[in-house]
Structure 1
């Protein structure tokens, strides 16, 4: 009996050492899994923060383009030549309120887009394509028949200033082309804008307001308004923000 007990006493520690190894391995697997999950969560959070910053940069760039388009509209009739501006609108115009509607064209020459009201009613996003522009609005993406024109070589240069394409370019107007404002730093591409023109009656009229624009037009007159569409880019050109506003000079 004593010999049997001695064998039992000797074998027992070996079995305990085997169980301990399995437990340690399980703990290692669990700790490794938790570490990997934590690392992935940290990378995901960092990526989300980076994307949010990229989106915010694009949004602020688009806001800058909206304000630049308003400066473009306001200064065009005055023939004001801004310092560091690549181009200038018609300096001989006699209009006192905004850009002349006659300056707008169907191909968005110099960023001024013309589309009659009947054509707007026919716009159809579901069937618009790059080759089917008749049912597209000018500000839609190129794949949907939009007229932004992403070929930068056909547009005026800003850095350095280059006015070689001022009279021939079509599509979006790069920031500062007509105002000379400094470029936006840190973005993949300068923001740009398109301007559409509309004629409307009884705009912004109520019992207390007898004017439809800040220029003092009467309520029964046609009012000229401009729809500005701005497109901003983030640190990557894949990050884009599009903003719109209706502007009354």
Structure 2
């Protein structure tokens, strides 16, 4: 009986194509891109939150400066016997509260307005001790600094770089004439307390603007509408308050403006 021999051929080993390695590299690269995107998004969100928080702190500081300026104006009228204002401010507590040791005071009578304006008008900056004449020319004076290029042309008297206004003796600091405190602990505002440099912390300026009815047209603000609600002013002046607060970051600055009139009750 013939024998049968079966022959089996060995399979040839297949060459590796490297597909698995390529897939792994692709997934690693995608993971790296996702991680990079997530980190950049997180950093951007952190910057946005940080900038917004700094702006809010500066905004609160500017609001406090406006209120302090109002109190500064009201403190001109106080009871000589008690030394206190209607707001309870003690003008004899020491320091320069109620402008006790300042030559520049807010007018208590209409006849004092002209003398005050003439004094301020003689200053190069048209301001002194936080009191100014009505500003002419550009109203956004905080945008004009020594770094502004090109230098504006046609500048009006008193239009000076912000650095000349935000300085001691020209602008006023928080609490300088009211004795207001910066707060303590978590309620303290670090911006108001920062006086390490002129471009830190906050300042305010108060423009004195004479007011009259239509029969006194020599004044700056005139009421020409006969049926308009009349202002019962202590003196015939309206005040424009400009408060500026620098944030903790160099690029943060908040400016608030308010028109304020001290009114009296009718007899």
TM-score (norm 2): 0.64
Native 8 Å contact 2:244 2:253 kept in 1: yes
Native 8 Å contact 2:75 2:98 kept in 1: no
* Structure 1 segment 1-249 matched on structure 2, within 5 A: 3=9, 6-7=11-12, 10-12=13-15, 14-15=16-17, 18-78=18-78, 81=91, 83=93, 85-89=95-99, 95-96=107-108, 100-101=112-113, 102-104=115-117, 105=120, 106=123, 107=125, 108-115=127-134, 120=136, 122-123=137-138, 130=146, 135=155, 142=162, 147-150=164-167, 155=168, 169-170=169-170, 172-183=171-182, 185-187=189-191, 188=194, 189-202=200-213, 203=223, 207=227, 209=229, 211-215=230-234, 223-249=236-262
Deviation of residue 39 (structure 1)? 0.7
Distance 2:56 2:139 in 1: 30
Deviation of residue 86 (structure 1)? 4.1
Unpaired runs of 5+ in structure 1?
156-168, 218-222
Native 8 Å contact 1:196 1:226 kept in 2: yes
SS at match of 2:242: strand
Distance 2:106 2:131 in 1: 18
Deviations 1:94-143 (A, max 9, x none): 95369x53334143110111247xxx2x44889x775879725869852x
SS at match of 2:69: helix
Distance 1:37 1:52 in 2: 22
Task: Name the one with the larger helix percent.
Answer: 1
Unpaired runs of 5+ in structure 2?
1-6, 85-90, 183-187, 195-199, 214-222, 263-267
Deviations 1:45-75 (A, max 9, x none): 0110010000010011000000000000010
TM-score (norm 1): 0.69
Native 8 Å contact 1:76 1:90 kept in 2: no
Provide the aligned C-alpha RMSD in A. Answer: 3.8
Deviations 1:29-55 (A, max 9, x none): 011001100110011001100100000
Counting matched residue pairs gives: 210
Distance 1:31 1:94 in 2: 68
Query: Which is greater in Rg?
Result: 2
